Structure 1
Amino acid sequence: MVQAREAHDDYERHYAEKIWALIPEIYRHEDGLAGHPGQLRALVEILAEQAAVERRSIDRVLADSRIDEADDWAVAYLGQLLGTRLLHRLNSAGRRKDVGHTLANRRRAGTPRLLETLAKEVADWDAVVQEAFVHLLRYPHALDRTFPAGPVTHTPQGGFPDLRRARIGDVAGGPFEDLAYRPEFRPGRGTRGRYNIPKVNLALYRKYAFLLADVTPFRLDATHYAIDPSGRGHVPLFQSGDVTRRDCEKPAEWDVRMPITCRRLNAVLYRLPISQASGGPGWGGLAGRTFESAEALRAAAAAAGSGNLPALLAAALVADTPKARLLADAAGPSISLALDGGTPLRPHAVAGAGLEVWADGTTVAAGVEVLVDPALGLVELTDAAGPVLEVRRAHYGILFPVGAGTHDRSNRIPDAGPAPIATTSPVLSAVTGDRVFGDSRTYTPTTAGSKMDVTGTARLWAADRERPFVLLRPAPNGTSIEVRAQGAGASLALNGLWLGSLLRGTAQGGPLCELRLTGSFDRIQLSDLTLDPGGTQAALAGQTPKAIPHLRLVLAGRVEDLVIDRCVLGSIHEAAGSTGSSVACTAAQVAVTDSILLPLGADPVLSLAGAKVRIDRSTVLGDCRLGRADINDSIIDGVLEVQDAQNSCLRFSMVRSGGRTPSPYECVVLPGGLPLGSFESVRFGDAGLGVLTPTCPEQVREGAEGGTEMGVFNRAFVSIKLADLSAKVAEFAPVQAVVQLIVQT
């Protein structure tokens, strides 16, 4: 949508004036009086242009000597001067950081914290080091000193755990555990062979956590909510991590980007400082005592006759505990909820709970106003009067930005635009020019007869780092929304929006709703967009979950160019006979790049017999029926039928056997498609949608051009970063240490 920005250094004008000033005044004067005036000035401007080129070249030579400003080609030369092992050329950001920090890393070689720093520099992943010898079981004897209890399960170092501690299952097998194990002499594989004297476990957290601010939660009834605006009840909440933590500090549980669990959300300590013993009546007897829950502090306060419980809970809250960090961190909590427009709820008013079965009728502790299931993204209010829930802050996780989301899109949207849409029910019956959605609320536009007319060049986009959810409304008892080009030269660009369907006159969602493109478009560009591929909503107890419609893009007119870039879509089909002719309506060219396409049942994901289709670095989870295709670095986990196979291309991709495919080049053809368990998830809304697992065939995980993985996360360079990190860990780790990389997310 926007072109690359270039610096304006005005070197041409500077040198033109400088050279012009060196010419004697008489010649400058005569140049203006000659029969063809300005000839000398034109020559000077030509010389100035060349001088500007040379000046920029000199500036680049100086800049290329500084790692922060050097061109990518110069980074390799700087690395050779330092004698460092260069990272893969595709991992350009990691290579630059590695070269820039080589000397500092050599000074810290062999330290545990350096391994975490390497993971951040090389791969931009959060990491936590676990030295295995600390967790080896030992039997005490009479001369032993008293070992301090662990911070999570209170297990003494090398001792036996207290099985009554609820968080044992929450941290076991991870880097934040304080349990003890017998030594294992087997090589590391899965969960085996992790604990022995030379073992160092480096836990890797690869997924990013993106902020959702002031999102509109889905209200099931007066007290039950799904934080996901579409109503899905399986969208996990992530913690944001701490980007300000210094690399010499050991990370705590709340410092890394990972899914939040109920037990971590409830883990808290209360300890009233002695200095605040006079802050309220009866507080003196509580000062200095430690309580592991708000209920324990309330009970002690009641026994001591203490008053002003909300103030006591706020004053006694220990900041360095998971619940305090997740709900009340001054730098920005991972979760922030409010009721009826009030101030954000304090940590003692929020409790983690497993809401696979709603807690209706369950007795909760006094003062708890909200129950949250962070693993499912569900919320239940304890007040039967049903105040309105507001989600001020929440975070979702994803391996790499794709589809609508709150990631950085500043270089993909216009620099300036009109004022954002002020109402959540804007009129979109006729669209021309620019329209901007300025926040992440839910919008229900009004259209005339479920039709949106596009005149001239129309652009609808979300503001940077926002994810508005736009529910399009079909006509009563209808199942389609029409986007119609008015006149010649119409074009439409959609960027950063999440489009869903609000069906009327049906039982919330027949499974299919069509977004029909009619008329004649010169170009349609979909960028960082999500067309809801369907699913099911959360449901109240005893009710059947309602279906979320699958939004299908239907070409019912003519489109010269259809460009789909970094999107999550449902199916794309042609409609025959929509223009009154026997020729199928289609697009002349369709380009799908860095996208995920999800099917509706057994229907084909792509049915484009009349278009020339190019698919690059995308994951298509279903059958494809195409006329002519050029497919590169992609996963087609379905039957591929290409009519013009002779003039089509299939390179570095995976397809299912049994179809009509072009001659493959460096491809993987699997009978029956990818084996089960190759993806973390194929359900929209899950953090692992489209993410390849270690059980996926290696030819797919590393078979794309350049040695990266096939599919939508090709540009995440997971396999390359993992290989680079392994090499750097081997370079800087102590000789006797056996460092094992363990992927947690």
Structure 2
Amino acid sequence: MRNDADRYEAYYAQKLWQLLPELYRAEDSPELNRNGPLRELVERIGAQAAIVRRSMDRLWEDQSIETCDDWVIAYMADLLATNLVPGLDARGQRRDVAKTIYYRRRKGTVPQLEELAADLTSWDVRVVEFFRRLGRTRHRLDPEVGGPGMGRALQVAQGLSGPLTRTAIGGTADLRSHYGARLAHTAFDEFFHTADVRRGQGHTGWHGIPRLGVFLWRLQSVPLESVTPVRDATCENQYTFDPTGRDIPLFAASARVYGDQSSSPAEHQLPAPISGPLLQTAFAELYAAKSALDATAVVDHSLGIYRLSPSGLHYELVEYDPENPQLTADPRQLEPDYLLLPERGRFLRREPESGEDFRVSYHTGFSSGIGAGGYDRRLPGKMTAPLAEPLLQVSGGGDALTLALGTDPLSGTVLLEDSLTYTSGFDVELQPALFTLRAENHRRPVLRRPPGLPASAWTFTGSVGPKGQTSELRLDGLFFCGDDVVLAGTFDRVVLTTCTLDPGNQPEGASDPLLAADGKPLGPCRLRILGQVRELEVDRCILGPVRTEGTGTLERLTLVDSILQAPPGEQVLDLKTTDVRMKRCTLLGEARVHRFDADTSILHDVVTVEDNQHGCVRFSAWATGSTLPRKYESVELASRQSLFASRAFGRPDYAQLLLTAPTTVSEGAEDGSEMGAFCREKYALKTRALRIKFDEYMPIGLSPVWVYVT
């Protein structure tokens, strides 16, 4: 694929220039540092020749769907008569073409439909034939349940009885299993129902002969490894998995298997919240275990607890042994020493020892790769900038970061290599050069000071060099919690990429924020600008309030694929002298800016623009009462209208649009996807692709019922 950073056009133009006789090159321009008309002509010819040469070099790669350019996909689809869905992302189209023959050979089968949906959308899917869940009177042609030689495992494998409730096929529900009863009316229902003749939509019209249930899990399960848990201040033997002290549901890791060995997934194989009964039932599948090949290695599953070894040199896994369990998810069992509460994201140590120290690994759910997290932060098709020298690698948590930064003016790169919590603040001065504070890929270090300390801030102070050069700051993959981030001094450019500045949790109408498990208030982490910043760029971030204070100035703010939220009574953007440009963003709170330009965004509260003669609001939702520049293909909503499944930061469905949101918002983007920060996930386009492709591959006479589980 083409890479605009390789300067191939310039190389080819220079190559052509060197082929000209020296006489013509010397006579072209009297100035050495200025191109003459001949050189300009050669550069234009060279640029076009480079395009032709690049295309020739890629002819062989364009013969394969795996390596071809995106524009070739449609032509290959035409050769196979593939019903290519327009508007779908290149990944989904490429897989659709690559597996067309594979799909056609297995057309109409449940595993093929599940794999097709997963390939197109990257969501986890389970397809249920609802006609198999109809209650009926058994007849003599039915296979006998519990016949000669038919053991329990064979009955379950053949679908003659439920694995949890042992309800016989088509028969009366056996209610003795509490967990099995909880699964009623889900994708894992083991009970049988009377016919429902209503239209199949959402949670109605499921059980009928022509109904095919398609259950979709849209949230992503994001791994976090070796995290510092938070001890509860009111119960010292209880800890939260979340390093900010929040109660969050733990998620199961996605563990689907496709291909010839595929089968419909079990509940513990899908990216969904782990319930206590599920953890009890599938403890061995969800909890980490020692490797059978290497006793020192650990096979990561969905969660694990690690305790500091007696030597104090490493952390060892608290193992799960079915014969002598140390862990349980059932609070009625008093013998195991560790009680896990996955719905709250906590674990309890019944017999604590002095000086104990823990690390935890777990999965959390979210809609997209926005903010700090354990996902791959690299963008497809985009080169990662090399790390500036000198490079300093930091790990260990605690005050290790502050000690590494020291007191000298900084430049180069500081790389945090783990996901631990760094507890000490800092006030650092930067040299008039580039300084990068970055987390290693797939890691999420948390900067959070312990409770009981006076309010402070993480302060970066820019400087000006003798020749007028200024500092440049890059923050990448970091999670700031509790205290503010301050920009002082002079900066030419500040870039925040995949960072989280905790917006806090303060319920509507409450005067104070909620408290974390250790008693620290979950207040917002503000980005305060006290100095002079020419340009601030925010890419794929979750931020609290952004504002200038005192003599601080910010010339331009660029926001892309980000969520900004402020607590009640506070403005999310207070930038009266700033030119703000945002694209695919969600703004949760009031804002006041100088100039404003918004594209494919949701302005959930009143936004006041002082200079509304410049800029444009296009393909966006805006709140009544806002003062905005001209609007194009935008929709007006009531201020703080009910649009989101949750506005509480930390929840898996944070800022996710409700299924009942107006289609003018859920399909109002320029390409037909939803407005706001999750536009890049293209939910509406993926849903449309599923409907089109299922019509092509479903068995004749069946109609799908789309059920969004998350």
Equivalences for residues 462-473 of structure 1 within 5 A: 462-471=439-448
Tell me which residue corresponds to 2:60: 62
On the 8 A contact 1:338/1:391 being kept in 2, the answer is: yes
Residue 219, structure 1, aligned to residue 231, structure 2: yes
On the 8 A contact 1:226/1:538 being kept in 2, the answer is: no
**Distance (Å, rounded) in 2 between the aligned partners of 1:217 and 1:493:** 28
The alpha-carbon distance between structure 1 residues 622 and 11, as it changes in their structure 2 partners (threshold 3 A), is closer
Residue 381, structure 1, aligned to residue 361, structure 2: no
The alpha-carbon distance between structure 1 residues 191 and 352, as it changes in their structure 2 partners (threshold 3 A), is farther
1:342 is paired with a residue whose SS is strand
The alpha-carbon distance between structure 1 residues 134 and 693, as it changes in their structure 2 partners (threshold 3 A), is same
2:60 is paired with a residue whose SS is helix
Shift of 1:487: 2.5
Letter aligned with residue 525 of structure 1: V
Q: Any idea what the Cα deviations from partners look like across 1:380-403, whole Å, max 9, x if unmatched?
A: 112143673534421111111100
Structure 1 stretch displaced more, 588-597 or 453-462: 453-462
Tell me which residue corresponds to 1:101: 99
1:728 is paired with a residue whose SS is helix
Shift of 1:254: 2.2
The alpha-carbon distance between structure 1 residues 480 and 390, as it changes in their structure 2 partners (threshold 3 A), is closer
**Distance (Å, rounded) in 2 between the aligned partners of 1:50 and 1:670:** 49
Identity %: 31
On the 8 A contact 1:323/1:347 being kept in 2, the answer is: no
Letter aligned with residue 232 of structure 1: R
Correspondent of 2:671 among 692, 703, 706? 706
Tell me which residue corresponds to 1:569: 543
**Distance (Å, rounded) in 2 between the aligned partners of 1:60 and 1:481:** 49
Tell me which residue corresponds to 1:186: 198
Which structure 2 residue ranges, 5 or more long, are not aligned? 22-38, 147-154, 156-160, 292-298, 309-314, 506-513
Tell me which residue corresponds to 1:172: 184
**Distance (Å, rounded) in 1 between the aligned partners of 2:565 and 2:126:** 35
On the 8 A contact 1:115/1:202 being kept in 2, the answer is: no
On the 8 A contact 1:89/1:95 being kept in 2, the answer is: no
Tell me which residue corresponds to 2:463: 486
Equivalences for residues 69-80 of structure 1 within 5 A: 69-80=67-78
Matched residue pairs, number?
A: 629
Q: Any idea what the Cα deviations from partners look like across 1:467-519, whole Å, max 9, x if unmatched?
A: 00012689964444432212241111000000123xxxxxxxxxxx4322111
Q: Any idea what the Cα deviations from partners look like across 1:505-555, whole Å, max 9, x if unmatched?
A: xxxxxxxx4322111110000000001112334548xxxx54123111111
**Distance (Å, rounded) in 1 between the aligned partners of 2:396 and 2:359:** 19
Tell me which residue corresponds to 2:414: 435
1:106 is paired with a residue whose SS is helix
Tell me which residue corresponds to 2:131: 133
Shift of 1:66: 1.2
Letter aligned with residue 255 of structure 2: D
Structure 1 stretch displaced more, 410-419 or 652-661: 410-419
Residue 238, structure 1, aligned to residue 238, structure 2: no
Shift of 1:86: 1.2
The alpha-carbon distance between structure 1 residues 435 and 131, as it changes in their structure 2 partners (threshold 3 A), is same
Larger Rg: 1
Structure 1 stretch displaced more, 325-334 or 724-733: 325-334
**Distance (Å, rounded) in 2 between the aligned partners of 1:386 and 1:161:** 50
**Distance (Å, rounded) in 1 between the aligned partners of 2:97 and 2:422:** 47
The alpha-carbon distance between structure 1 residues 7 and 522, as it changes in their structure 2 partners (threshold 3 A), is closer
**Distance (Å, rounded) in 2 between the aligned partners of 1:514 and 1:249:** 49
**Distance (Å, rounded) in 1 between the aligned partners of 2:199 and 2:354:** 55
**Distance (Å, rounded) in 2 between the aligned partners of 1:77 and 1:335:** 45
Tell me which residue corresponds to 1:586: 553
Residue 460, structure 1, aligned to residue 437, structure 2: yes
Tell me which residue corresponds to 1:394: 362
Tell me which residue corresponds to 1:295: none
**Distance (Å, rounded) in 1 between the aligned partners of 2:301 and 2:455:** 43
The alpha-carbon distance between structure 1 residues 446 and 328, as it changes in their structure 2 partners (threshold 3 A), is closer
**Distance (Å, rounded) in 2 between the aligned partners of 1:5 and 1:333:** 39
Tell me which residue corresponds to 1:506: none
Structure 1 stretch displaced more, 565-574 or 161-170: 161-170
Correspondent of 2:284 among 298, 317, 324? 324
Tell me which residue corresponds to 2:494: 524
**Distance (Å, rounded) in 1 between the aligned partners of 2:413 and 2:516:** 35
On the 8 A contact 2:127/2:215 being kept in 1, the answer is: yes
On the 8 A contact 2:9/2:51 being kept in 1, the answer is: no
The alpha-carbon distance between structure 1 residues 649 and 571, as it changes in their structure 2 partners (threshold 3 A), is same
Tell me which residue corresponds to 2:333: 364
1:371 is paired with a residue whose SS is strand
Letter aligned with residue 388 of structure 1: E
2:58 is paired with a residue whose SS is helix
Which structure 1 residue ranges, 5 or more long, are not aligned? 21-26, 28-41, 268-321, 502-512, 579-584
**Distance (Å, rounded) in 1 between the aligned partners of 2:619 and 2:474:** 30
Tell me which residue corresponds to 1:647: 614
The alpha-carbon distance between structure 1 residues 129 and 239, as it changes in their structure 2 partners (threshold 3 A), is same
**Distance (Å, rounded) in 1 between the aligned partners of 2:609 and 2:47:** 52
Q: Any idea what the Cα deviations from partners look like across 1:549-577, whole Å, max 9, x if unmatched?
A: 3111111111000001100000011113x
**Distance (Å, rounded) in 1 between the aligned partners of 2:350 and 2:650:** 27
Equivalences for residues 320-359 of structure 1 within 5 A: 322-328=282-288, 332-340=300-308, 341-346=315-320, 348=322, 349=325, 351=327, 353=329
The alpha-carbon distance between structure 1 residues 266 and 192, as it changes in their structure 2 partners (threshold 3 A), is same
**Distance (Å, rounded) in 2 between the aligned partners of 1:472 and 1:388:** 20
Tell me which residue corresponds to 1:495: 476
Shift of 1:110: 1.0
Correspondent of 2:599 among 626, 632, 635? 632
The alpha-carbon distance between structure 1 residues 631 and 410, as it changes in their structure 2 partners (threshold 3 A), is closer
Shift of 1:686: 0.8
Tell me which residue corresponds to 1:687: 652
Shift of 1:132: 0.9
**Distance (Å, rounded) in 1 between the aligned partners of 2:51 and 2:542:** 44
Tell me which residue corresponds to 1:407: 375
On the 8 A contact 2:222/2:364 being kept in 1, the answer is: yes
Tell me which residue corresponds to 2:276: 262
1:372 is paired with a residue whose SS is strand
Shift of 1:671: 2.5
Q: Any idea what the Cα deviations from partners look like across 1:28-84, whole Å, max 9, x if unmatched?
A: xxxxxxxxxxxxxx9xx9999998765532232232221111111111111112112
Q: Any idea what the Cα deviations from partners look like across 1:561-615, whole Å, max 9, x if unmatched?
A: 0001100000011113x3xxxxxx2211100110011112211111111000001
Tell me which residue corresponds to 1:249: 263
On the 8 A contact 1:587/1:610 being kept in 2, the answer is: yes
Letter aligned with residue 326 of structure 1: L
User: What's the TM-score once normalised by structure 2's chain length?
Assistant: 0.82
Residue 730, structure 1, aligned to residue 706, structure 2: no
Tell me which residue corresponds to 1:285: none
1:97 is paired with a residue whose SS is helix
Structure 1 stretch displaced more, 90-99 or 462-471: 90-99
**Distance (Å, rounded) in 2 between the aligned partners of 1:660 and 1:7:** 44
Shift of 1:143: 8.4
Tell me which residue corresponds to 1:123: 121
On the 8 A contact 1:590/1:614 being kept in 2, the answer is: yes
**Distance (Å, rounded) in 1 between the aligned partners of 2:537 and 2:10:** 36
On the 8 A contact 1:155/1:179 being kept in 2, the answer is: yes
**Distance (Å, rounded) in 2 between the aligned partners of 1:140 and 1:67:** 50
The alpha-carbon distance between structure 1 residues 165 and 740, as it changes in their structure 2 partners (threshold 3 A), is same
**Distance (Å, rounded) in 2 between the aligned partners of 1:434 and 1:84:** 48
Correspondent of 2:485 among 488, 506, 515? 515
